[in-house]
């Protein structure tokens, strides 16, 4: 009898062990499930952008600067970082080489010559200490004589000083940057857009009109811009060798 009961006892023991193992596996599965539910999922990996070569990056940055700097309807604009973007502000701060400033201006001229020339005109006006601003509709619809007359009306003659004559190291540096900018602009453009009659006619006509103005600051600024300190360069000499 003892021998016949042994298999039954063994089966019962195996069944108990199986239930115990199954319970342990179930508990372990539930714990793992809770851990998985409590663990935050990983964010999807971002697609990596291809790295630009130094040449591509330089061209894109130069194009962006050239496109962003200028005036919209005569109002000074700024880029996303709040940096100055008009010629007057850039030359005044002197944080960049004048060669780079000229390159950017030429790039902007290639994209929109009216906006680029408007920026250059306002550069001369602001260098004279005039508070007036030449707007795009004035530039397109008015003669230079009319524009100069309008700027003369807005000129504050009570103050005898203007950027090119103001004392102090900052303005001394500005005068140096002004002359360097004009020189680099003429040299850089003499084999490209300076032969563009549209640009030459606009710049020379404006400088000639300012040189005949009753306002001394206009006369001084136009003379300094029209006759660079370097005797080897000149607006007319560059255009008509």
Report yes or no on 23 lying in a domain: no
Interval 66-114: pLDDT, tens: 444 444 444 444 444 445 578 999 999 988 899 999 999 999 999 999 9
In the block, residue with structure tokens 């962006």: 64
Report yes or no on 100 lying in a domain: yes
Report yes or no on 94 lying in a domain: yes
Burial class (CB in 10 A: 0-12, 13-18, 19+), 45: exposed
- List C-alpha distances in Å: 189 to 45, 99, 206, 216, 232: 49, 11, 18, 29, 14
Name the residue range of residue 210's domain.
85-239
Report yes or no on 176 lying in a domain: yes
In the block, residue with structure tokens 């005797």: 231
Give the chain's domain count: 1
Where is pLDDT greater, at 45 or 111?
111
Report yes or no on 152 lying in a domain: yes
HSE at residue 7, side-chain half, CA atoms within 13 A, is 2
Q: Which of 121, 112, 153, 125 is nearest to 139 (CA)?
A: 121
Q: Which of 117, 102, 149, 105 is nearest to 130 (CA)?
A: 149
- Is pLDDT above 50 for 11? no
User: What are 106's two structure tokens?
Assistant: 């030429």
Report yes or no on 48 lying in a domain: no
Average pLDDT over residues 49-65: 46
Report yes or no on 39 lying in a domain: no
Report yes or no on 198 lying in a domain: yes
Q: If you average pLDDT over each of 47-56, 63-72, 199-208, which comes out highest?
A: 199-208
Percent of the chain with pLDDT over 90: 40
Separation CA 230–CA 217 (nearest Å): 22
Burial class (CB in 10 A: 0-12, 13-18, 19+), 74: middle
- List C-alpha distances in Å: 111 to 69, 105, 114: 12, 10, 9
Largest CA distance in the chain: 137
């Amino acid at each position: 009898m003892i021998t016949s009961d042994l298999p039954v006892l063994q089966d019962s023991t195996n069944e108990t062990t199986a239930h115990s193992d199954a319970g342990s596996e179930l508990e372990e599965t539930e714990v793992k499930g809770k851990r998985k539910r409590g663990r935050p999922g990983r964010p999807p990996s971002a697609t990596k952008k291809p790295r630009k070569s130094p040449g591509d990056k330089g061209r894109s940055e130069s194009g962006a600067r050239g496109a962003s700097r200028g005036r919209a309807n005569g109002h000074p604009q700024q880029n996303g970082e709040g940096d100055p973007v008009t010629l007057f502000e850039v030359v005044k701060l002197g944080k960049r080489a004048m060669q780079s400033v000229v390159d950017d201006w030429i790039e902007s001229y290639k994209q929109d010559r009216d906006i680029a020339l408007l920026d250059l005109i306002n550069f001369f006006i602001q260098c004279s200490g005039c508070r007036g601003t030449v707007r795009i509709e004035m530039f397109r619809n008015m003669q230079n004589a009319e524009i100069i007359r309008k700027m003369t009306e807005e000129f504050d003659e009570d103050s005898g000083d203007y950027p090119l004559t103001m004392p102090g190291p900052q303005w001394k540096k500005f005068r140096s940057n002004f002359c360097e900018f004009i020189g680099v602009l003429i040299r850089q453009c003499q084999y490209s857009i300076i032969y563009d009659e549209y640009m030459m006619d606009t710049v020379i006509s404006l400088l000639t009109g300012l040189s005949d103005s009753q306002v001394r600051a206009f006369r001084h600024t136009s003379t300094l811009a029209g006759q660079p300190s370097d005797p080897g360069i000149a607006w007319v000499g560059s255009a008509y060798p």
